[in-house]
Amino acid sequence: MRILLPEKVKFIINKLEENGFEAFAVGGCVRDSALGRRPADWDITTSAKPREVKEVFSHTIDTGIIHGTVTVMLEREGFEVTTYRIDGEYTDARHPSGVTFTGNLLEDLRRRDFTINAMAYNERAGLVDAFDGMGDMERGLIRCVGSAGERFGEDALRMLRAVRFSAQLGFELEEETRAAIEALAPQLARISAERIQVELIKLLVSPHPEEVRTLRDTGISRVLFPWLDDMFETPQNNRHHCYTVGEHTVCTLKAVPADKVLRLAMLLHDVAKPCCRTTDEKGEDHFKGHPREGVAMARHILKGLKLDNDTIDRVCSLILWHDDNPPATPRGVRRAMNRAGLRQFPGLFLVKRADAQGKNPVYLQEFLAYVDEYECLYQEILKENQCISLKGLAVTGKDLLAAGVEPGRAVGEALQELLEQVLEHPEYNKKEILLEMLSHRA
């Protein structure tokens, strides 16, 4: 196996070797290269101690010096160079109590999580694959290095990483690895929200977001995302539906583009359905108010996962309006744009189309045609630069004060009234017309 190393990576490896050390590209970059994918970054592992790495290169940054990581800067590009190490004992399923440097590459590879992540490569030695990572790549398997039970006991996050990699690569969990997750999933409760978030987002924006099913099947979500289990346990006896809330959610995840906000919105758009479900006398289920209740739940969940406020706001707005179906008329659409705010568009159309993909196919074509029409009208409103919010109104509070409106609440109320008129009749959005209308107000 030959891997084409970037020039700068070759330079770093050569330089370390010239100074009497070993050095290899390692981990994700070797895995991705072997799969014919473009690595996101190139990590280097070396027998040189951090101090020695710093002596070899002129520009370095102490990124994680106690863990042995130094960033080597080459023309503003950074490469993480980490000393071969053995993790100390894991006393709490999260942090090694200390790290020990070693001169032996194999020991460094042995501490890594999965066989496909435990390969190293340089041009001199070729591929170092002591745990049959290549074999597992061919078989399409995520398998722990060594005993799965021990490895998950050391660091519980690896269980979530296993599912994340299977979603990114389209691989299966190897049997022992899967069984160990089923046995040890409760230990994930001890992992920090930040680390969970990173893995969940990577899983969601992967080519196989349907792997959220595996989160449930292995018991991971029972511990980390119990609301997901609730969704899978909630039927939808309703003519518009043919799946449980959970299966519906999976369909919609697959149907929306791989974007963080959109995938989170799909994951959570029906999160409140389990608690909003009522069954009428004919046995039909209804989920009244689930978008609004869903926003409250999603906010809580996403805050708990330490997502940033901007992401949370965007996701929550999409959830709030996902089920909003205005009449496909210019004024209906202007009103919908006013309600939801411009920022939700055009993402909201993607959400609505994806949502439809997970419902009773009988109504699919009709609904998609409606969304097309909705979007056309939206485009036209944008093109004509029609006013859909107070910001676009041709008069401001100042204008109203100058026209004699009492300062205070009356100004806001008058603006709102004029906006209502303009949403109905965009052609009224001219200063003279609006001031004229104001003077005729009761």
Residues that bind ligand ATP in the complex, under the rule CB under 6 A: 27-28, 40, 43, 112-113, 117-118, 155, 157-158
Nearer to Mg ion by Cβ, of 28 and 68: the residue is: 28
Q: Report what 158 binds from Mg ion, ligand ATP, none; CB cut-off 5-8 Å by kind.
A: ligand ATP
In the bound complex, what is the minimum distance in angstroms from residue 27's beta carbon to Mg ion?
A: 7
Nearer to Mg ion by Cβ, of 168 and 252: the residue is: 168
Is residue 39 near Mg ion by the rule CB under 5 A? no
In the bound complex, what is the minimum distance in angstroms from residue 259's beta carbon to ligand ATP?
A: 17
Nearer to Mg ion by Cβ, of 199 and 355: the residue is: 199
Which residue number is nearest to ligand ATP in terms of Cβ?
A: 28
In the bound complex, what is the minimum distance in angstroms from residue 376's beta carbon to ligand ATP?
A: 39
SS3 string, the chain, reads CCCCCCHHHHHHHHHHHHCCCCEEEECHHHHHHHCCCCCCCCEEEECCCHHHHHHHCCCEEEEEHHHCEEEEEECCEEEEEEECEEECCECCCCCECCEEECCCHHHHHHCCCEHHHCCEEECCCEEECCCCHHHHHHHCEECECCCHHHHHHHCCHHHHHHHHHHHHHCCEECHHHHHHHHHHHHHHHHCCHHHHHHHHHHHHCCCCHHHHHHHHHCCHHHHHCHHHHHHHCCCCCCCCCCCCHHHHHHHHHHHCCCCHHHHHHHHHCCCCHHHHCEECCCCCEECCCHHHHHHHHHHHHHHHCCCCHHHHHHHHHHHHHCCCCCCCCHHHHHHHHHHHCHHHCCHHHHHHHHHHHCCCHHHHHHHHHHHHHHHHHHHHHHHCCCCCCHHHCCCCHHHHHHCCCCCCHHHHHHHHHHHHHHHHCHHHCCHHHHHHHHHCCC
Choices 27-35, 151-159, 205-213, 328-336; region in contact with Mg ion by CB under 5 A: 27-35
Nearer to Mg ion by Cβ, of 28 and 219: the residue is: 28
Nearer to ligand ATP by Cβ, of 206 and 338: the residue is: 206
In the bound complex, what is the minimum distance in angstroms from residue 182's beta carbon to ligand ATP?
A: 19
Choices 26-34, 46-54, 173-181, 190-198; region in contact with Mg ion by CB under 5 A: 26-34
Choices 23-31, 78-86, 213-221, 288-296; region in contact with Mg ion by CB under 5 A: 23-31
Which residue number is nearest to Mg ion in terms of Cβ?
A: 28
In the bound complex, what is the minimum distance in angstroms from residue 211's beta carbon to ligand ATP?
A: 15
In the bound complex, what is the minimum distance in angstroms from residue 186's beta carbon to Mg ion?
A: 27
Centre a 10 Å sphere on the Cβ of residue 76 and count the other Cβ atoms it contains: 6
In the bound complex, what is the minimum distance in angstroms from residue 161's beta carbon to ligand ATP?
A: 6
In the bound complex, what is the minimum distance in angstroms from residue 340's beta carbon to Mg ion?
A: 37
Residue 83 main-chain phi, psi, to 5 deg: -70, 140
Strands 141-142 vs 172-173: parallel, antiparallel or unpaired: parallel
Q: Report what 199 binds from Mg ion, ligand ATP, none; CB cut-off 5-8 Å by kind.
A: none
User: CA-CA distance, 52 to 28, in Å (whole number)?
Assistant: 24
Q: Report what 305 binds from Mg ion, ligand ATP, none; CB cut-off 5-8 Å by kind.
A: none
Tokens 């959830």 belong to which residue? 319
CA distances for 238 relative to 122, 244, 288, 295, 388, angstroms: 59, 11, 13, 23, 35
Nearer to ligand ATP by Cβ, of 110 and 222: the residue is: 110
Q: Report what 112 binds from ligand ATP, Mg ion, none; CB cut-off 5-8 Å by kind.
A: ligand ATP
In the bound complex, what is the minimum distance in angstroms from residue 26's beta carbon to ligand ATP?
A: 7
Burial class of residue 97 (count of CB atoms within 10 Å of its CB; 0-12, 13-18, 19+): exposed
Nearer to ligand ATP by Cβ, of 22 and 113: the residue is: 113
Nearer to ligand ATP by Cβ, of 31 and 248: the residue is: 31
State which of positions 183-222 bind Mg ion (CB under 5 A).
none
Choices 28-36, 92-100, 130-138, 153-161; region in contact with Mg ion by CB under 5 A: 28-36
Is residue 28 near Mg ion by the rule CB under 5 A? yes
Residue 78 main-chain phi, psi, to 5 deg: -105, 140
In the bound complex, what is the minimum distance in angstroms from residue 303's beta carbon to ligand ATP?
A: 24
| Cα distance from N-terminal residue to C-terminal residue, the chain | 83
Picking from 231, 278, 276, 226, the residue whose alpha carbon sits closest to that of residue 251 is: 231
Q: Report what 157 binds from ligand ATP, Mg ion, none; CB cut-off 5-8 Å by kind.
A: ligand ATP
Nearer to ligand ATP by Cβ, of 158 and 277: the residue is: 158
Nearer to Mg ion by Cβ, of 112 and 178: the residue is: 112
In the bound complex, what is the minimum distance in angstroms from residue 134's beta carbon to ligand ATP?
A: 15
Nearer to ligand ATP by Cβ, of 153 and 235: the residue is: 153
What does the binding site for Mg ion look like in residue numbers (CB under 5 A)? 28
